[in-house]
Amino acid sequence: MFRKISISVAFSVALAACRSAGGCPPIVAYSLEDQKIAAKQLRALPKNTPLAAMIVDYKKTRDACRASGS
């Protein structure tokens, strides 16, 4: 439960920082091949590892930046 709250707070802070600082940083484009390799590596990580959680959070931030038009 605490972890979900922490992730939500971190995500909210990151999104607010993007808005207050004049927008999100540029979103890096990854090739389809790199995305496939990264997805395979992410699936290979043990469940509930901090790295997997960070990658998921990064995706949420990228999606929020795209949605905000920055």
Taking only the tens place, the pLDDT of each residue in 29-49 is 999 999 999 999 999 988 889
pLDDT over threshold 60, residue 61:
yes
What are the residue ranges spanned by the domains of the chain? 2-68
Q: Rounded CA gap, 45 and 52, in Å?
A: 7
Closest CA to 57 of 7, 16, 9: 7
Kindly report the pTM of this predicted structure: 0.55
Q: What is the mean pLDDT of residues 13-37?
A: 78
Of residues 34 and 4, more confidence is placed in: 34
Residue of 27, 22, 31 lying closest to 65 (CA atoms): 27
Whether the pLDDT of residue 13 is over 90: the answer is no
3-state secondary structure 33-68: HHHHHHHHHHHHCCCCCHHHHHHHHHHHHHHHHHHH
